[in-house]
Amino acid sequence: MPHALLERIDTLGPEVVALQRALVAIPALGPDNDGQGETAKAEFLERHLRALGLADILRLDAPDARVPGGLRPNILARIPGRDTSRTLWIISHIDIVPPGNPDLWHSDPYELKVDGDFLVGRGVEDNHGGIVPSLVLAKALLDAGATAPMNLGLLFVADEETGSAYGLGHVVAEHAEQFGPDDLFLVPDFGVADSSLMEVAEKSMLWLKVEVFGRQCHASTPEQGLNSLVAAADFILRTRRLHQEFPAVDPLFSPAHSTFSPTRKDANVPNVNTIPGHDVLYVDCRVLPQYAVADVLDAFGRIASEIEAEHGVRVACSPMQAEQAAPATPVDSEIVRRLSAAIEAVYGVTPAPAGIGGGTVAAILRRAGRDAVVWSTCEHFAHQPNERSRISTQLGDAKVMARVLFA
């Protein structure tokens, strides 16, 4: 491990701030989030890569007629190593989520605020916390004149926040030739504040929309209607039994069991004195990989039939999103071993492989037969107002990436 490389990373705190300031100022919202796409931010990143001196840069854009220019950008860049047949890929996403209620922000979400070691602004953690350390590593590598044992590959993808069909999903489906059989994959998009969590598995995901169709009437004569709200409430209460129908526990995950959480409830009637005839609710399910999503859907179907029989309403269940869990990355795989040693060397903690309930682009790689690990040092302010990250941990994460590359 070249010490000059680590020493150079230590000097790049101002580079972290400058990159974050530039990135925060460029909103990159996909059309599903009422945005214009990620092109402006991608163009900044491409200019920055060329200014660093990288020559091997490809655009692997996905067509999308909903955005100006009709393309969703994906940028691939490589710095050659001694063994050009292998690449360590660091995969970050360009898009962000909307800031939400501006009254909850203490500063402009699109203007970087520096507060000591903290950086505040939309995207500073999710996912500039992955983009910036990888760019810091690239700059330090070139500045130090170091040649790594294998290629360093940087991949910046679109559309992670709304499904990845135009991002890594497109890249893997249409440009799989860019990846070698012995490549390594690191996705810096989830972690904990003490750097110890390495995500190697994800639960299956089901977002279910439930519509209850009753009959509206005046609240003074409820017997003339079919109260969809009462039926919807009964449906919600019956979802609790799914924990008994799918009871398995896997300590790799936290929580270790499957979860079935009623979340959103749409408005029905606007006034108090009307019995509603139509209600819409949603359930978020994170299911352990050994269970089939189809079996969970069948269980909801049985609940729907019971509600129809008891309340005389009609119930329609439709999945908004249904993803069967990808195979887990083996805990003894090369990328896990390299990353574990690097985290311990930089942060002095013993890392632990773990599974999560959320979804990341690593699932796309795992379904394609690739061993991928999701890791970064996170303050867990993603998607929140006053999103924040640390300068120090972005430098530390760049050092971890360097140690993985040179292991």
Write the single-letter amino acid at 339.
Answer: L
Contacts of 240 (CB under 8 A, 6+ apart): 260
Q: Contact at 8 Å (CB) between 30 and 38?
A: yes
| 160 is an active site residue | yes
3-class secondary-structure state, position 316 = strand
Q: Contact at 8 Å (CB) between 231 and 315?
A: yes
Candidates 15, 38, 126, 160; catalytic one: 160
DSSP labels for 348-360? ----EEEEESS--
Q: What is the CA radius of gyration of the chain?
A: 24
Q: Contact at 8 Å (CB) between 135 and 48?
A: yes
Contacts of 118 (CB under 8 A, 6+ apart): 388, 389, 390, 391
Candidates 95, 125, 183, 199; catalytic one: 95
Alpha helices, H only, 11-58: 13-24, 39-52
| 308 is an active site residue | no
Strands (E), 164-239: 184-192, 197-202, 204-213, 217-218
Write out the catalytic residue numbers.
Answer: 95, 160
